[in-house]
Structure 1
Amino acid sequence: MKKVTMFVWNHFTNDARVNRECTTLAEQGYEVDLIAINDPKNPVITAYEEISNSFRVHRVKRYPWMLQAYQDYGKKFLLVVAGVQVAIIPALFYISFTIMAAYLMSLVIAAGMIKIKKLRKWFINGAIITRMIVKGYFQNADIYHANDLNTLPQAIVCSKLRLKPRPLIYDSHEVQSDRTGYNKEKIKKIESFMLKFVDQMIVENHTRAKYNEKIYGFYPKTLYNYSEKYEIQDKHKINLHQIIGINEDEKILLYQGGLQQGRGLELLIKAMDEIEEGHLLFIGGGKLTQQLKDMSKSSAKAHKIHFLDKVPFQELPSYTREAYLGFQVLQNICFNHYSASSNKLFEYMMAHVPVISCDFPEIKKVVDETNTGIVVDPHNANEIAEAVNKLVSDEALRNRLSENTKQAKEIYNWNNEKVKLLEIYNQFAPLSNKEIQLNFK
């Protein structure tokens, strides 16, 4: 069996794309080990999880023991540490002043790592990276796969620092060199350097591939973030109206995904002032959660704006299917957003939910060609409200768009796209006919 070791910089609880890739490889006949990060705050998440006989998840610890103890016990931990030092420091002074001075310096550095946010972040990330490298190196895989730039160093060490280097795939889910909160030029230099060790790069779509060719001089493979294909009526049905406390005949206007900057979420709340019918529902979490909740309380339609915590990707279709329409209104604040072909669009499509989408090239192309929604200027709350009002007042139009999703999903689904992933793997770590046959027995 060919072994694959893949890295992802999250807990692997809501990463549908990585799950699709790992599951596809495991079903084809590869032995897949995914290295993710554990979440000490979530007792449901385990350090080791066996998804199937050929797909396993290993979650490394997030915090070094010292920081974990401080997080768990706070001042009590510091008092215990201080008490221990009362005994240790005089003993070291008796042995050697130099040893005592070095020990005191290490205590100062440790205290800085606990108290100074930036130092603490570097320390935590460094510990995670080290643990990922150790775990990944001893997997001794036939091929290594890094999801996004923050796991590429780990994959480079594990795949290339060997007597016999292994192939390395770099799967970039974002435009790393042009996204919010990042130093563009610095990231571009880092990514450019690390690409020298990569055997194959994957990006989400052709718009991003062309951008990559422009800045790095080569055209990577594309792997669109299409949803798994399923029949929505086969998914477990829930009473979402009851969950959020509204009448069955009310229309749910759904946004599902991360509550992050640049996704037009504030404008959705603003648009509610002009929306004639329906309840706005956010399903997800993120940095903007509290800000959006505070903003909604000031809205004249506060009673029609609801929030639910993020839902595991396996359960999400049961929620999506209950929506009257879905929103995908990314803001053009960076090329990463402008070039997206977001999985949210295809999740709505698979659940037969019409979409109100932004007018960016990849998303607009799909919506226009399939006639599965209305394209708007995502920076214009009035235009968003007009599109909603058009659909809520014309159920026949809404139902036609919904019906069109049934044909569209036959094209835009993972079953069609995954062939490209398998072609890449077959190039670098081909399975023998025997291995493939054994897997399908």
Structure 2
Amino acid sequence: MKQTITMLLFNNFTNDARVYKEGKALSDAGYHVDLICIQEAGKPVLPSSEQVQPNFEVTRVGGGKGLMWSRSIIAALLILGAMAELLFIAILSGLLLVALYVPKIKRLANLALLIAEMTLVARLRKSDFYHAHDLNTLPQAHIAAKWRWKKKTLVYDSHEVQTSREGYHGAIHGFVEAQYIKKIDFMIVENDTRAKYNEKIYGFLPSVLHNYPELDAMPTKVTSLHQKLNLPINELILLYQGVINPGRGLEKLVAAAPFFKEGTLVFIGNGRQKAELEAMVAEHDLAHKVKFVDQVPLAELKSYTEQAHLGFQVLNNTCFNHYSASSNKLFEYIAASVPVIACDFPEIKKVVQGDQVGICVDSHDPASIAKGVNEVIKNPQHYVQLKTSITAIKEKYTWEKEQNRLLAYYARLAN
């Protein structure tokens, strides 16, 4: 009989490559993987259930149904209270009904109902393992795994550093993580730097699973970026692909763009900072040097990336999560044979300088970024050396090899 793994994920599972690769690897190895994720508010409604491949199934919860039912129940209580002349119940129901239309309360109610639904669905599963992807699903997974007569194995797969992360309340998240970290059976983090950080604050060393790309993924053919952006065919594309959010050094990239001797800076992706960058480009009259492309499907991303002359990973040291990152983006550039201009943080520097696949710069300084770009552009021989180095080490950083760690972890837990 197949052992079953219930995974919990707090997004809609459309662009989460790490979770897709983990689920696929485990189902290929003979486990039955049941992924519970969410219908994200404000995004197209996706199927409530689907099969990714044999033994890998997805269930989506939420989508506003809980709030709709809550309003219906409260409205019914209001009518019954009024008919039965139970003034207190009628007034309380009326106040609750009105409150659920207040935007902030509505968002909080939606979140609470979503968490409750995910917890209930997970708890009803009869699985051997419960695998929480990040802190925002760990409480739900804990209830599902441990609030039962025969407790199940609880795995905590922390993709980020929860206690020091851009846009997050480190003290609150740190407190929550500290409470639940005592209740897990196994923990996974992205790299050795993060594992040592965890050991320092919690007293134990988690296991490591890098988020390397698949070597043999076959991206869909896409339109040429040069055609899409009306660029001359020989124009060098200097690419940032990924989420456009604060703390990633992207405003420094825009500030550096006027000093690039050649090439057009291209952003592929969406995010909270995109409007700010577009305004910055307009204000400084840089539309001829900086272009934007909306987020593309994950299956097509490598095909776009391969068209770049250089790729950027210029995280800023705004939190330990950034400082300790291995960076999916870095390995995606390597997989696409694109040399990298990168920040000099430990895990990234270890690859970029150690394997000679790019140049490390001061990612907080536009002048340093521009100097690194120009150094590569103006030295064709150096560029060829970087490309040669990437070809030599490309298979070193592949999911096909890394997934064996994950399978070994589960084999150990199963025994």
Q: Do they fold alike, i.e. is TM over 0.5?
A: yes
Deviation string 1:229-255 (CA, Å, 9 cap, x unpaired) is 1377x7635412111221211111111
How much has 1:182 moved relative to structure 2?
Answer: 2.5
1:410 is paired with a residue of what secondary structure?
A: helix
Q: Counterparts in 2 of 1:234-273, with a 5 A limit?
A: 236=221, 238-273=223-258
After superposition, the Cα gap between the structure-2 partners of 1:101 and 1:395, relative to the gap in structure 1 and judged at 3 Å, is farther
After superposition, the Cα gap between the structure-2 partners of 1:374 and 1:139, relative to the gap in structure 1 and judged at 3 Å, is same
Q: 1:92 aligns to what? A: 81
Q: 1:22 aligns to what? A: 23
8 Å CA contact retained: 2:12, 2:39: yes
- Mark the runs of 5 or more structure 1 residues left unpaired by the alignment: 71-80, 431-441
AA of the residue aligned to 1:220 = P
AA of the residue aligned to 2:5 = V
How much has 1:187 moved relative to structure 2?
Answer: 1.9
Higher relative contact order (CA 8 A, sep 6+): 1
Q: 2:137 aligns to what? A: 151
Match of 1:279 among 253, 264, 274: 264
Q: Counterparts in 2 of 1:37-436, with a 5 A limit?
A: 37-39=38-40, 41-43=42-44, 45-64=46-65, 66=67, 92-97=81-86, 100-117=87-104, 119-230=105-216, 236=221, 238-429=223-414
- Greater shift after overlay, 273-282 or 257-266? 273-282
AA of the residue aligned to 2:274 = T
Distance in 2 separating the partners of 1:251 and 1:269 = 16
- Mark the runs of 5 or more structure 2 residues left unpaired by the alignment: none
1:60 is paired with a residue of what secondary structure?
A: strand
Q: CA RMSD in A?
A: 2.3
How much has 1:5 moved relative to structure 2?
Answer: 0.6
Distance in 2 separating the partners of 1:116 and 1:58 = 27
Deviation string 1:193-220 (CA, Å, 9 cap, x unpaired) is 1112200011111111111011111111
1:5 is paired with a residue of what secondary structure?
A: strand
TM-score (norm 2): 0.94
8 Å CA contact retained: 2:316, 2:363: yes
AA of the residue aligned to 1:109 = L
How much has 1:224 moved relative to structure 2?
Answer: 1.2
After superposition, the Cα gap between the structure-2 partners of 1:195 and 1:220, relative to the gap in structure 1 and judged at 3 Å, is same
Distance in 2 separating the partners of 1:403 and 1:90 = 74
TM-score (norm 1): 0.88
AA of the residue aligned to 2:180 = M
AA of the residue aligned to 1:113 = L
Distance in 2 separating the partners of 1:293 and 1:383 = 22
Distance in 2 separating the partners of 1:281 and 1:275 = 13
How much has 1:116 moved relative to structure 2?
Answer: 4.2
Calculate percent identity across the aligned residue pairs.
43
AA of the residue aligned to 2:250 = L
Distance in 2 separating the partners of 1:345 and 1:68 = 45
Q: 1:437 aligns to what? A: none
